Each structure stands twice: as structure tokens, then as C-alpha cells.
Structure 1
Amino acid sequence: MSSRAQWFAVAGVIGALTALLVTGLAFTGDIAPVGVGSAAPEFAAVDLASGRESSLTALRGDVVLLNIWATWCLPCEKEMPSMQRLFEELGPAGLRVVAVSIDDASPEVVQQWVTERQLSFAIWHDPSGRIERLYQTTGVPESFVIDRHGVIVKKIIGATEWDHPAQKALIKRLLAGEASEATGAAPGGG
């Protein structure tokens, strides 16, 4: 083998090892898989009602329905009325509904959308998409039911009817302090 061929072989091996190292580091970062049974990642975002930053940490001790959505998402719009009905029914019992808009539009545009639909639960705004990445969502809407200890007990990919008896039963059990049951990720269903 000529010295030139040896040089190319060594360079190829070094390049391959570098690529493996970089790829390995990318997959072993501090981001753990997010799913049922895992701790809900902590975050902060602007609460559109107050204009101030709010955090998931401040809700520890409460049962939380976290919904990640966007104004341009038709399935998101479709599920919002059922989320509002659920909030009206179980909010007084302690359910916190937090819908995080990932729109890159201004807060005023998102707030106008919310006002037109008469939504009274918390709407937070994260135009950077940080929360979307933190929760490793695959699209919108995507929702997480989080127990009082900050553990995800249900993940739903896609729109769902939040005031369906199965959804309400789970949340009522959590509000009553009954043990959480991991219900898995469900595409848009109960």
C-alpha cells in the first residue's frame, strides 16, 4: 500500500471515529425520553393573561393538563372547547389547564385567538419552540396529564375530547389523590 493510500485510510478511520463520537454525544445529552412515568420537564413561559413568566414548577402539587398547540392547527382548535368544558367542571376541584402556544406570532395575535374562543384556562406562549423540544413532541396538539408529584401519567398525541368520561375519570382520580396509573401514549383517544 502506498503512503498516499495509507494516509487516506488513516484519515477515513479518524473521520469515522469523529462522526461516531459526535453522533454519540448528540444522543447522550441531558435530554431524557419524555413519556408516561417520567418526570415532566420543568419550564417557564409567558402567561398571556398576566404578561409575566410562569413556570411548571409553581404548579407542583396540582394536577395539570399540559397542552402544546398552535393557532394555525385545526385539530387544536377542535379540541379547545372540550378542554374549556373540562376546566369549567374540574378547575374548581383543582385541575390546572395550561395550553402552551408554540406560535411564532406575537402574543397579541395568540391572545386575540384565545379571546375569540372564550377560553378561560391558562394560555402560555413559547414562540422559541423550547418547550416543544423539551417535551419531544411530534406535532400539535400533544397533551400531557401530570400528577401532583410532577409525573406524566398520560400522553395524548393528537386531538381528543377532554370532557369524555374516560378522560374525566382519570383526572378525578388524580384530583382525589388516588395512585396514578400509567395509561400510556394514546393517539387522540380516551
Structure 2
Amino acid sequence: MSEPSAPLRNYRFIFLAAAVVAGACGVGWAVGRFRPNPEPVVRSPETTAADGRRGEVLFQVHCASCHGPDGQGDGPSAAALKPPPRDFAARPWRFPVTPESIRRVTTDGIPGTAMAAFGAALSPADLDTLTMHVHRLATNQPTRTNQPTVEETLLHEAGFVDLRGTTPPPLIVSDAAGKMVRLSDFQGRVALVHIWGISCTHCLKAMPRLIDLESAFAGKGLVVLHVCADADDVKDAQALAEKTVPGVRVFADAAGVGLARFEVQTLPTVWLIGPDGQVIGRTTGAQDWAAQAVRKLIEHWLPNREAR
């Protein structure tokens, strides 16, 4: 018998391979069809209780010093914090009272407050466990509704963290001409301390708006102090700012100690200081300085009450 031709051998191989694949698929279908479905994972009461205990331990280690053992904002460190730590039962919150929101705040922290970011300090499993414990504290007890004062409402609507009742750190800065200025020199006026950086786009965009805001209250007791946080030479900062706002006067803290005390973690950072020399509030990041809410906030604390 003669050998089959090469094309015929190729066709036989293709048919054989197809049959093998079809058979394998059929076997797989049959196994899957008749294999019993896996039982759903059910967390036992013991596992749930263990997670609850773990969440309580994590809370006592990382949170109770400020928020108190039961989340009522009465921890041993609470009295020294501005703004004070959250009482989980108090409403309203600035974000929804959900596990997702609580986990996000626990992970990222809240800039401008004592709420630190724990994303790098806790494993994902511990973050989830701590989140659920905080959510239980916030929802398993009777809630209390706080009626905000006029000042609290003004600060919130303008995007400021309430820091009333605190004294600002000492700050001595100098301009490009070498003239020194102290923050205490502006007592009797409302001062906005605008802490900016030479590579911060938002900072440079804010300067014209802050100049406009200062001009709107000219002679009524508002001063804006532009303090550069990262220039090696204040003359370099002055030259850069001049390109954005001709005639603006900027300052720098050569020692850097003052700015460190002002807790500058995000640029721009703006502190609002009252006529009595006490802190009113602080805001970080991009801000709409032309907003009516900002003007209302400034007007409320101006020493010249006719501006109101």
C-alpha cells in the first residue's frame, strides 16, 4: 500500500487534533455540570467576634488618644488639638458616615488637622477591621446634632478649618530689600498669611486673587502676607512673583523655623489671623479667593465693623 500524500497526512492531523480538543471540552463540561457547587463562605460568630476585638485593639492603639475609648472625642490629647477630634456620634459629618468614607479618611488623613494618614502604617486587612470598628462606634449609639455657630458656618462655607482659640507661632520674615517683618506687627488687622512655593502652580494662580481681595478691603483692616516656603533667596521668589503680579511684595523665612511651626504640609497653606493676634482658621490647597463665602468670612472679623 502506498503512503498517503503529505496534504492528506496534514488533514488527518488536523482532524485528530480537533477531535482531541472537542473531547477535552466535553469532559470539562461534564465535570463542571455534575460537580456540586461550592458552599458559600460563612463567617462564624467566633471569626466576627475576633475581628471586633482586633478592631477595638487597633482603635485603642491608634485612635483613642484623640477620639477617646468610645469615640466621643474626649481622649487625653483632645484638649490640645485644634480643631478638636471628632465625636463619632455628633452630626453632621463633613462626609457620609459610610465604611467607604471612613476608610478613605483613615488611609489619607485630613490635611490641616491632627487626623494623620494611616495608609502606610496599617495593612489592608487592619484598615478594613479598624474601619468597621469606627463605623460601629459612629452608628451603634444615639446621634447628637450640633447646631453650628455663625462663625463655624462662615469658616466651613469658606473652606477653612476652625482653629479659633489658638495662638499663632512666632513668625519673622524679610523681603527682597532685607526689611524684616513680624506677624505681630499686624495686630489690630486681619492677616492672611499666604505660604506659597516657587514650583506651586496653584500658589502663583492665587496671588492675583489675593491681591484683589486685599484691595477690596483697602483701608478696612486686611493685610495679605505672601511668604515663600522654598526659595533659597527671597530675591528669586520676588522676581518670580513679579512675573505673575507686578508690584507684589513677597517674604521669606531664612531660618525656616517659623514655617515649620506653621505645619506647612501642603502648598499653598493660608492662615487667617484675627485683629487680636489669635488664629481664626487655616485652609490648604487651591481656593477660590473671589468667592462670596471668603469675603463674608473676612468681613465678619474686620476691625472696622462698617465693612460688614
Greater Rg, structure 1 or structure 2? 2
* C-alpha contact 1:94 1:175 (8 A) present in aligned 2: yes
- In the TM superposition, 1:74-153 aligns within 5 A as 74-118=201-245, 120=247, 122-153=249-280
Change (3 A) 1:55 1:176: closer
Per the normalisation by structure 2, the TM-score is: 0.44
Q: How big is the shift at 1:119?
A: 5.0
Change (3 A) 1:141 1:152: same
- In the TM superposition, 1:57-76 aligns within 5 A as 57-76=184-203
SS of aligned partner of 1:92: coil
Instruction: Considering Cα pairs closer than 8 Å and 6+ residues apart, tell me whether 1 or 2 has the greater RCO.
Output: 1
Change (3 A) 1:70 1:100: same
Unaligned runs of 5+ in 2: 1-79, 84-162
SS of aligned partner of 1:61: coil
SS of aligned partner of 2:217: helix
Aligned length: 146
Letter aligned with residue 280 of structure 2: V
Aligned to 2:171: 43
Query: In structure 1, how many angstroms separate the alpha carbons of the residues matched to 2:208 and 2:223?
Result: 16
Q: How big is the shift at 1:132?
A: 2.1
Query: In structure 2, how many angstroms separate the alpha carbons of the residues matched to 1:59 and 1:122?
Result: 16
Letter aligned with residue 54 of structure 1: V
What is the alpha-carbon root mean square deviation over aligned residues?
Answer: 2.0
Unaligned runs of 5+ in 1: 1-31, 179-190
Query: In structure 2, how many angstroms separate the alpha carbons of the residues matched to 1:121 and 1:94?
Result: 18
Q: How big is the shift at 1:121?
A: 5.1
Name the one with the larger strand percent: 1
Query: In structure 1, how many angstroms separate the alpha carbons of the residues matched to 2:227 and 2:292?
Result: 24
Per the normalisation by structure 1, the TM-score is: 0.69
Change (3 A) 1:151 1:120: farther
Aligned to 2:73: none
Letter aligned with residue 47 of structure 1: D
